[in-house]
Structures are given as structure tokens and as C-alpha cells.
Amino acid sequence: MKIGITCYPTVGGSGIIATELGKLLAESGHEIHFITSSLPFRLNRVYPSIYYHEVDVNHYPVFQYPPYDLALATKMAEVIDREELDVLHVHYAMPHAICAILARDIADRDVKIVTTLHGTDITVLGIDDTFKKMIKYGIERSDAVTAVSYSLAEETRDQLGVEEDITVIHNFVNEQEYYKKDLESLKQQYGIQPGEKVIIHISNFRKVKRVEDVVHTFHKINQQVNAKLLLVGDGPEYSCVSNLVSKLDLKDKVLFLGKQKNISDLLSISDLKVLMSEKESFGLVLLEAMNCEVPCIGTNIGGIPEVIQHDKTGYIVDLGDIDQAANYAIYLLKDEDLLRTFSKNALAFAQSSFHSSMIVKQYVNLYDEMLQTE
Ligand code: GMT
């Protein structure tokens, strides 16, 4: 098949999924055309059957705002015709599905449009009446729609009144990259003492991630377990979080690592992952952790309970319940046997339910079904 892929190419779960999917599809013999505003950050080497078509937005002085969406639709239409695409798979309804629909109208040949919903377009934009109708239109005019969790599919139906089928295809990780490595020396380089436990949080520090809850949870854990907290990522809440760390006198215990590329190395030196988000359609970082044998504590929100098996691979707590999160963490971190069991369970669950080979097959089956129905 010849498959076009559009996503936000910068750091973020949806961009990672779109790019890794393209790479795996190319490995299994399909021809992939990325149509994006910049080179997807995970395309870090040459792949013979992957092509990249850059969307360039002209900054004519007459336009008050650069027309990115129209430039994208034009580029999509050009690629559909020139490369004879069978499928155009877009990640995010807003604006990518809308652009794809416009491109299909402009192009001379037909193409099947698959839209994958990742969360923010539904859980944030879907609440905004300005965009609601537009997002619904994008979903209804796609040939197939997928969501990364049952929770997101249900929320889409509830919020937008969409009646079309939404196929749930969970996220996956690149197992070649996410596995537990022996990196004791890295621990020493970070000043982590032997016997000290490592708790990790990775996010883009948006408000919805509630990183302050992570710090409060850690504060309680640290009163009973000798531990360090690794905070990975950067974003709007960074300075609030940093102030809180100082206020709680945790500066020696919390390491702010900023944006990092080799996340699996950091996960490999971690004992527990904490994600206290108030919105999370899936929580790809949890799956990354599980593949590196790290149990997780997460909130009872969105897709998180589909990823964490409570009392087996980690624990689920109510939103904002830092006491419960800390109690579970202390209980787990104090019991080496239980911690080892949870680590093994986490890896086993990731492999049995979210393995990339299974997930990619689900996308290919969907493309096949769509191409067979006229
Ligand atoms: O979480 C973010 O802020 C980034 C966002 C994105 O667009 O990459 O993540 C969303 O998509 C990921 C991949 O499907 C999911 O794992 C995240 O849970 C989802 N984020 C939210 O729903 C807030």
C-alpha cells in the first residue's frame, strides 16, 4: 500500500505513534509518505521506503495569519495524485482530518482517509463550541476513525454525538528502544545512592499533567522511603513546580532533567513511574515505563485504567488523591519481592496487550477493510 501520514512532527505522544507506525509499516513492505511541517523527530536515519514532503507556508504580507491548514491541504492533494496514495492516515481531527477531506476534494484520484484521535482534539477542543461542529465533520467524513483508548472513543461519542464506528486501537512503543538496560553507572552519575529508590515523572508540564501532585506525592514518599524524584520534560508549569520543590525543601531530592531524548535510559534506572494527570486519553509514557519494567501509579482518568492493571502492574488512584498515591508507592517500594513481581507483570502486560506487531496489524487490517469497501 502507499500510505500518507500527517501528524504534529514535534515531540509528543501522537507524533511518536504516527512516526513509529510509519517506520513499522515501511519495514513490512508499504510505501510511506510523511506530509508534515517539519521532519518527524523520530525519523532519525534513512529509511528507503519512507518519503518526506514538507509543508511550506508562505508568509505573504497580505495574510494576517500564515495559512498553514490550506498549505497542508494543498500539499496533501499534490502527494495523493503524484504518489498515487491509497490511504491518507491523519493524526488529530483538528485540523488534520479537515485538511485531508479538503485535499481529497481537490485531488484527481480517490484516497481513503483514516483519522486517529489522540485526545486533546476531543477532550479539550471538543468542549469548545466553536470547534465542535468542525471536529464532528472531520470525524464523519473520514472513511475510518480510530481512538487510542475505549475511554476516548466513548468520550468522543458523548461529547460530539458522533454515531460513526470508532475503532479502538491502543498505542504501542518501539520495543527495540524501550527495554530495561543495565545502567547502574548512570545512577551514580546522577548522585543516586545505593539503596535509594528512584521515582520518575515524564510529561510536557502542561496544567493537565498536575505535576505539583507528583511533587506532593513524592514529598510524602520521601518521609518514609529514601528516594529521588526525576522530573523529565519542560513546559508551562515548570516554574510553579520548581517553586514548590524549593518550598517543600526537596531541592536535594528532586532532579529537574528538562527535555531528554533517551527516555528508556532514564526509565531503566527508575523503580516507579507516577502520572497524576486530570486528562489522559492513553498515557504513552506509562507504556514506555512498562516496557522498561517500571510499575506505574496513575489516576483514574481517561485511558489510564486501560494501561495500568490495578494491584498487578501498578496502582490507580482518584484524581488528586496524593495520600493514596503515596501510600501505595511506600507499600510497593518497601517490599522488594512485590516490586520485582510488579515489574515483571508490567512488562508481561505491555507485551501481551500492546505489542507493536499486534497493533500495526490492527491498522493494516483496517486499511485493507477500507480499501475493499467501495
Ligand atoms: O499529552 C499531551 O499533552 C500530548 C498529547 C499528544 O498529542 O501527543 O498526548 C495525547 O496523545 C498521546 C498519544 O496517543 C496519549 O498517550 C496522551 O494520553 C494524549 N494526551 C492527553 O490526552 C492529554
Q: What is the CATH number of the domain that holds 238?
A: 3.40.50.2000
* Residue range 265-316, pLDDT digits in tens: 999 999 999 999 999 999 999 999 999 999 999 999 999 999 999 999 999 9
Residue identifier of the C-alpha nearest atom 20 of ligand 1: 280
Whether residues 145 and 189 share a domain: the answer is no
CA of 118 to the centre of ligand 1 (A): 6
CA of 284 to the centre of ligand 1 (A): 7
CA of 186 to the centre of ligand 1 (A): 29
Residue identifier of the C-alpha nearest atom 23 of ligand 1: 280
Mutate to test the pocket of ligand 1, among 7, 11, 118 (most ligand atoms within 8 A of CB): 118
The predicted model gives 326-339 an average pLDDT of: 98
CA of 184 to the centre of ligand 1 (A): 31
The predicted model gives 135-152 an average pLDDT of: 96
Q: Could you please report the per-residue DSSP string of 205-259? A: --GGG-HHHHHHHHHHHHTTS-EEEEEE---TTHHHHHHHHHHTT-TTTEEEEES
Residue 286 lies in a domain: yes
pLDDT at 238: 96
Q: Which runs of E-coded beta strand occur in the chain?
A: 2-6, 31-36, 50-54, 87-91, 112-117, 144-147, 167-168, 197-202, 227-232, 254-258, 272-275, 296-299, 314-317
Residue 132 lies in a domain: yes
Q: Which residue has the cell 523503580?
A: 271
Whether residues 123 and 220 share a domain: the answer is no
pLDDT at 17: 96
Residue identifier of the C-alpha nearest atom 9 of ligand 1: 13
The predicted model gives 163-172 an average pLDDT of: 95
* 126, pLDDT greater than 80: no
Helix, strand, or coil (residue 296): strand
Whether residues 57 and 147 share a domain: the answer is yes
Residue 94 lies in a domain: yes
CA of 90 to the centre of ligand 1 (A): 15
Mutate to test the pocket of ligand 1, among 210, 280, 308, 319 (most ligand atoms within 8 A of CB): 280
Whether residues 202 and 160 share a domain: the answer is no
Residue 178 lies in a domain: no
* 127, pLDDT greater than 70: no
Mutate to test the pocket of ligand 1, among 6, 8, 11, 14 (most ligand atoms within 8 A of CB): 14
ipTM of this predicted complex? 0.97
Closest listed residue to residue 285, CA positions, set 360, 150, 173: 173
Q: What is the DSSP letter of 193?
A: P
Q: Which atom of ligand 1 is nearest to the CA of 14?
A: 8
* 145, pLDDT greater than 90: yes
Q: Is 140 exposed, middle or buried (0-12, 13-18, 19+ CB in 10 A)?
A: middle
Whether residues 167 and 190 share a domain: the answer is no
Contact 251, 241 (CB under 8 A): no
Crossing angle of helices 129-140 and 150-160, rounded to 10°: 120
Whether residues 271 and 237 share a domain: the answer is yes
The predicted model gives 148-159 an average pLDDT of: 95
The count of domains in the chain is: 2
* 374, pLDDT greater than 70: no
* 122, pLDDT greater than 80: no
Whether residues 223 and 84 share a domain: the answer is no
Residue identifier of the C-alpha nearest atom 21 of ligand 1: 280
Residue type, 4: G
Crossing angle of helices 211-222 and 322-333, rounded to 10°: 50
Whether residues 39 and 92 share a domain: the answer is yes
Q: Which residues line ligand 1 (CB under 6 A)?
A: 12-14, 17, 118-120, 123, 148, 171, 204, 206, 208, 279-284
CA of 226 to the centre of ligand 1 (A): 32
pLDDT at 125: 65
Mutate to test the pocket of ligand 1, among 10, 281, 288, 301 (most ligand atoms within 8 A of CB): 281
Whether residues 143 and 276 share a domain: the answer is no
Q: Which atom of ligand 1 is nearest to the CA of 282?
A: 18
Q: Which atom of ligand 1 is nearest to the CA of 285?
A: 16
Instruction: State which residues form the domain around 142.
Output: 2-172+355-372
Residue identifier of the C-alpha nearest atom 3 of ligand 1: 204
Residue 179 lies in a domain: no
Task: Give the C-alpha distances (Å, rounded to integers) separating 42 from 11, 46, 86, 351.
Answer: 9, 11, 24, 22
Whether residues 152 and 216 share a domain: the answer is no
Residue 85 lies in a domain: yes
CA of 152 to the centre of ligand 1 (A): 11
Mutate to test the pocket of ligand 1, among 17, 210, 211, 284 (most ligand atoms within 8 A of CB): 284
Residue 299 lies in a domain: yes
Whether residues 214 and 341 share a domain: the answer is yes
pLDDT band at 353 (very low <50, low <70, confident <90, very high): very high
CA of 194 to the centre of ligand 1 (A): 34
Average pLDDT, rounded, for the chain? 95
* 52, pLDDT greater than 80: yes
Share of the chain above pLDDT 70, in %: 98
Residue 193 lies in a domain: yes
pLDDT band at 64 (very low <50, low <70, confident <90, very high): confident
* 193, pLDDT greater than 90: yes
CA of 14 to the centre of ligand 1 (A): 6
Whether residues 368 and 238 share a domain: the answer is no
pLDDT at 363: 98
